[in-house]
C-alpha cells in the first residue's frame, strides 16, 4: 500500500500537483476516515447506552444538539485525530521527488525500518491494552459496588439536602411528603448513610466493673431513620419518638470494641456519655457503612437531635 501511494504521489507531481495540494488531499482523506469512525462510534454508543445504564444504575443520554460540551469535545477530537493521524504521512509522502516516488526507492528502503513507525505501533497496542484493563477494572468495581452488603437497603431511597433547619417546618415537610402515595418513609439525619462527611466524638461507657473510653462516629438521626434504611436491629429498641435524649442506639462494631461482640444484649441499659450528653443504650443495630467502602466500619452512635441536613425518602416502587 505504501509503494502504491508513493507511485501515486509521483504521478501527481509529474502532472503538476504541488506539495501543498498533495498534503491537503491526504489530510482530506484522513478527515473523511475520522468522520466515519466518529459516526460509527456514536452509533455504537447509542446501542450500548441501555446496557451501560443498567450497569451504572442511572440514566445516561447522548445529546449532541443540546449538550454543547459533547459537541465541542467531538469537534476537538475530530480535529486532533485528523492532524495527528494525517499530518505526518501527508508531509512525508508529499516530500518525495517524482523520480524516487515512481521508482519506489525511498518508501521501499524505509519500509519497516523507521523508528517512529515502530514506536507508533507499540504505542497503539499499549493504549489499547491499557483501555481494556481499565474497562475490566471499572466493570469489576461496579459489580462489587452493586453487590456489596452495605448493611442498609439503598434501593428506592432518594437522599436530598434539606433547605430548612427549623424543627417545626421539618415536621411539616415530612408530613407533606408522606401524603404522597408513592412515599413510604422519610428519615432525617445530619449526613447520608455512606458519606464522606462524618462527625466523630470521644465517648465514655459506664460498665458495672469499669469505665471504658473510645471514639465513635456520631449520627444525629430522627426516629424514622432506622426504618427508612431498613437497618437490622440485633437487640433492643429503636430511637425514641422525641427530640429529648432518652437513649442511644449503637452498631455492632461498637459492641465488639466495648467487649460485647458475642452478647450485644448486655450493652442494653448501660450509660454512655458522648457529645456532652449521657443516656442509656437502648438498642444495637447490625453494622452499616457510614463512609466509603474503602474504609472499615467504625463504631457508630446514633441519637435523636433537632437539627438535620439530609433526608432519606423511601419510595414505594
Largest pairwise CA distance in the chain: 104
The whole-number average pLDDT for the span 205-213 is: 81
For residues 303 and 248, the answer to whether their CB atoms sit within 8 Å is: yes
Query: Is the pLDDT score of 292 beyond 50?
Result: yes
Closest Cα to residue 310, out of 207, 194, 204?
Answer: 194
Q: Which one is predicted more confidently, 160 or 110?
A: 160
pLDDT reported for residue 134 = 93
pLDDT digits (tens, 9 = 90+) for 182-200: 999 999 998 878 777 778 8
pLDDT the model gives residue 47: 86
- C-beta of residue 220 within 8 angstroms of C-beta of residue 266: no
Across all residues in the chain, what is the average pLDDT? 82
Q: Which of the listed ranges 44-53, 129-138, 242-251 does the model predict with the highest average pLDDT? A: 129-138
Q: Whole-model pTM?
A: 0.63
* pLDDT given at position 104: 54
- Is 50 exceeded by the pLDDT of residue 109? no
Q: Output the pLDDT for position 164.
A: 80
Chain segment 67-105, per-residue pLDDT in tens: 778 888 889 999 998 888 877 777 766 666 665 655 555
What is the pLDDT, as a whole number, of residue 108? 46
- Looking at residue 51, what is its pLDDT? 79
pLDDT band at 163 (very low <50, low <70, confident <90, very high): confident
pLDDT at 93: 66
Share of the chain above pLDDT 70, in %: 82
Quick one: pLDDT band at residue 207, thresholds 50, 70, 90?
Answer: confident
For the segment 120-133, the average pLDDT, to the nearest whole number, is 91
Q: Is the pLDDT of residue 238 over 90?
A: no
pLDDT for position 239: 87
Contacts of 6 (CB under 8 A, 6+ apart): 93, 96, 101, 104, 106, 107
Asked whether the predicted pLDDT for residue 8 surpasses 80, the reply is: no
| pLDDT for 96 | 62
Amino acid at each position: 500500500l505504501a509503494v502504491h501511494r508513493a507511485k501515486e504521489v509521483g504521478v501527481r507531481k509529474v502532472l503538476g500537483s504541488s506539495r501543498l495540494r498533495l498534503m491537503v488531499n491526504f489530510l482530506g482523506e484522513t478527515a473523511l476516515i475520522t468522520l466515519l469512525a466518529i459516526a460509527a462510534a456514536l452509533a455504537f454508543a447509542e446501542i450500548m447506552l441501555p446496557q451501560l445504564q443498567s450497569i451504572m444504575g442511572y440514566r445516561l443520554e447522548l445529546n449532541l444538539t443540546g449538550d454543547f460540551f459533547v459537541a465541542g469535545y467531538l469537534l476537538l477530537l475530530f480535529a486532533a485525530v485528523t492532524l495527528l493521524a494525517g499530518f505526518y504521512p501527508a508531509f512525508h509522502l508529499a516530500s518525495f521527488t517524482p523520480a524516487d516516488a515512481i521508482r519506489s526507492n525511498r518508501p521501499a528502503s524505509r519500509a519497516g525500518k523507521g523508528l517512529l513507525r515502530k514506536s507508533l505501533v507499540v504505542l497503539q497496542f499499549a493504549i489499547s491494552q491499557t483501555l481494556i484493563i481499565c474497562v475490566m477494572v471499572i466493570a469489576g468495581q461496579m459489580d462489587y459496588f452493586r453487590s456489596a452488603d452495605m448493611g442498609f437497603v439503598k434501593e428506592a431511597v432518594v437522599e436530598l439536602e434539606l433547605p430548612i433547619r427549623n424543627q417545626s417546618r421539618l415536621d411539616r415537610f415530612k408530613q407533606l411528603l408522606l401524603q404522597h402515595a408513592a412515599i413510604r418513609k422519610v428519615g432525617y439525619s445530619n449526613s447520608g448513610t455512606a458519606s464522606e462527611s462524618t462527625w466523630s466524638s470521644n465517648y465514655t461507657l459506664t460498665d458495672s466493673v469499669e469505665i471504658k473510653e473510645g471514639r465513635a462516629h456520631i449520627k444525629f438521626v430522627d426516629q424514622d431513620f432506622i426504618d427508612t434504611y431498613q437497618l437490622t436491629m440485633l437487640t433492643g429498641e429503636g430511637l425514641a419518638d422525641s427530640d429529648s435524649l432518652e437513649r442511644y442506639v449503637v452498631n455492632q462494631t461498637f459492641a465488639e470494641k466495648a467487649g460485647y461482640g458475642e452478647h450485644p444484649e448486655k450493652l442494653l441499659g448501660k450509660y454512655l456519655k458522648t457529645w456532652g450528653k449521657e443516656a442509656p443504650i437502648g438498642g444495637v443495630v447490625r453494622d452499616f457503612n457510614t463512609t466509603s467502602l474503602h474504609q472499615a466500619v467504625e463504631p457508630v452512635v446514633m441519637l435523636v437531635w433537632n437539627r438535620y441536613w439530609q433526608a432519606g425518602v423511601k419510595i414505594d416502587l
